[in-house]
Amino acid sequence: MRNNLKFAVYLLLSIAVSLAHAGSYEDFFQAVKRDDAKEINELLRRGFDPNTIDPSGRPGLFIALQEGALKAADALVEWPKTKVEWRNAKDESPLMMAALKGHKELVRKLIARDADVNKPGWAPLHYAATGGHLEIMLMLLEEHAFIDAQSPNKSTPLMMAAMYGSTPAVRLLLEAGADPLMRNELGLSAVDFAQRANRPDAAQLIAAAVRNRQPKGKW
């Protein structure tokens, strides 16, 4: 009889915990989308796992960065149990997303949490260059980001800046020592990227850098 009573108590407690967790699950992701840092912190203090993924497989931090919920992202980065080294199906990390979106302070905080500045493949510097975010590019370079990092198809941050970023982003990378002679797997150089994007200013900058690297009489 006593054993049956204990079992019933344990069962009720288990059901209660499961229901509470289910409610917290929905509350958490709704709070992220509402950019409600106060609610997120309350759930975390109550023991909710910040690394829980939503039905599409994304943790709250990545969702917050994707959707511009910066208060929510900040709360999650500040929480010590949040994993900042996570990858989605495209091998993108929270630091890459913050770099692409231009969230400078979150980039700084993610780096302070030891987010990988030099992850293999597409790297945060590729994404910062794509967005043309100069301060973030400088921040990453100061953290020893590899300036000529190669994506899976061998594209470099300079190529991304040339096609999608900005002329100042191209200038920054060249002045920091980016190699304008590199080519990706399709044989395309940074000049080719700029020309394909119809960006003559960027193309001229890169072409001048190429000339400076060529022996006299070879250009």
Question: Is it the case that residue 20 has pLDDT exceeding 50?
Answer: no
User: What gap in Å lies between CA 117 and CA 184, rounded to an integer?
Assistant: 21
Question: Is it the case that residue 215 has pLDDT exceeding 70?
Answer: no
Q: Do 1-83 and 91-219 share a fold?
A: yes
Query: Considering only CA atoms, which of 78, 77, 65 is closest in space to residue 33?
Result: 65
The architecture of the domain spanning 1-83 is: Alpha Horseshoe (1.25)
Q: What is the pLDDT of residue 219?
A: 45
Q: What is the pLDDT of residue 214?
A: 72
* Residue 173 vs residue 12, higher pLDDT: 173
pLDDT digits (tens, 9 = 90+) for 162-207: 999 999 999 999 999 999 999 999 999 999 999 999 999 999 999 9
In the chain, where are the structural domains located? 1-83, 91-219
Helix, strand, or coil (residue 183): strand
Question: Is it the case that residue 9 has pLDDT exceeding 70?
Answer: no
Helix, strand, or coil (residue 53): strand
CATH superfamily of 91-219: Ankyrin repeat-containing domain (1.25.40.20)
User: What gap in Å lies between CA 67 and CA 194, rounded to an integer?
Assistant: 29
Residue type, 155: S
Q: What is the pLDDT of residue 7?
A: 42
User: What gap in Å lies between CA 20 and CA 162, rounded to an integer?
Assistant: 51
Q: What is the pLDDT of residue 213?
A: 80
Q: What is the mean pLDDT of residues 48-57?
A: 95
Question: Is it the case that residue 3 has pLDDT exceeding 60?
Answer: no
- Across all residues in the chain, what is the average pLDDT? 90
